Amino acid sequence: MSLETIPRFVARTEQGYKLKQLEHLNKLRNLQIDGLRFVTSKEEALEANLACKNLLTELEMNFYSHDSACNPDVQAAVLEGLSPSKHLVHLKIEDYSGSSYPSWMLYPSWSGLNSGAPTELYSLELFRCSPLVSIPKGSGYFIRLHKLCFSRCRWSCMPLEMEHLESLQELTISLCGRIKHLSELPKSLKLVTITGKSKLWKTCQKQGHQNYQKIQHIPNKEFPVETDDLLY
């Protein structure tokens, strides 16, 4: 098929709404997949054949998993099976509550566990997602990452080893009220944006505080106030 864009594909349990419907749509350039909470296995996720969609540059994957019945191990397996091609440029993952992140994100390219995983990723947004514990040194997935956004994530801390993101230029931490301390940040950063009237938001502007010191090498710093700050 010659389709280049599907604005939104919604996965469901009924026939005709399975990820297999995407299998042969290899000319897609932009894709948003919703309803991933209804996908039950890595094998089912693999049927989307994302790894072979070499023209796909923008991908959004939404789990919408507010239901406590969602199984974190199942979600982890599903995301593992949704490995995109190495040419992906922009990725957003929303409402992911999996027990871990996939090998195609975490393992270095020389390990052989993520051959074909995206190595041209420019921007990544995690929206209401499980904690990303650390940024693995040598991960090919992050090697060209310029923009990173954590939004509405209820994490108690930031990922460790963020200093390994040597290409990162823009970091946004939006409405993540439980994060109190910054990790060590890469020297390459040109802009940091922190929203939400949280302890982090306040201490990054408090002269002498450890968080304040960690962003002094960044030339541009923004601390906007958002309309829904009171909710977080």
The pLDDT confidence band at residue 140, using thresholds 50, 70 and 90, is: low
pLDDT at residue number 16 = 80
Indicate if the pLDDT at residue 109 is higher than 90: no
- For residues 143 and 119, the answer to whether their CB atoms sit within 8 Å is yes
Ordered by where they begin, the domains of the chain are 5-231 (3.80.10)
Compute the CA torsion angle 159, 163, 166, 172 (nearest 10 deg).
Answer: 50
Indicate if the pLDDT at residue 23 is higher than 90: yes
Mean pLDDT, range 188-209, rounded to an integer: 96
How far is 50 from 30, CA to CA, in rounded Å?
A: 12
DSSP-derived 3-state class of residue 151:
strand
Alpha helices in the chain (DSSP H): 42-46, 72-81, 103-106, 199-203, 210-214
The pLDDT confidence band at residue 110, using thresholds 50, 70 and 90, is: very low
SS (H, E, C) 27-65: CCCEEEEECHHHCCCHHHHHCCCHHHCCCCCEEEEECCC
Mean pLDDT, range 52-72, rounded to an integer: 86
How far is 126 from 128, CA to CA, in rounded Å?
A: 7
pLDDT, one tens digit per residue, over 152-173 is: 999 999 998 899 899 999 999 9
> Rounded mean pLDDT of the chain?
88
Classify the phi-psi angles of 226: left when phi > 0, otherwise alpha if psi is within -120 to 50, otherwise beta.
beta
Which has more confidence, 44 or 119? 44
Indicate if the pLDDT at residue 5 is higher than 80: no
- For residues 120 and 143, the answer to whether their CB atoms sit within 8 Å is no
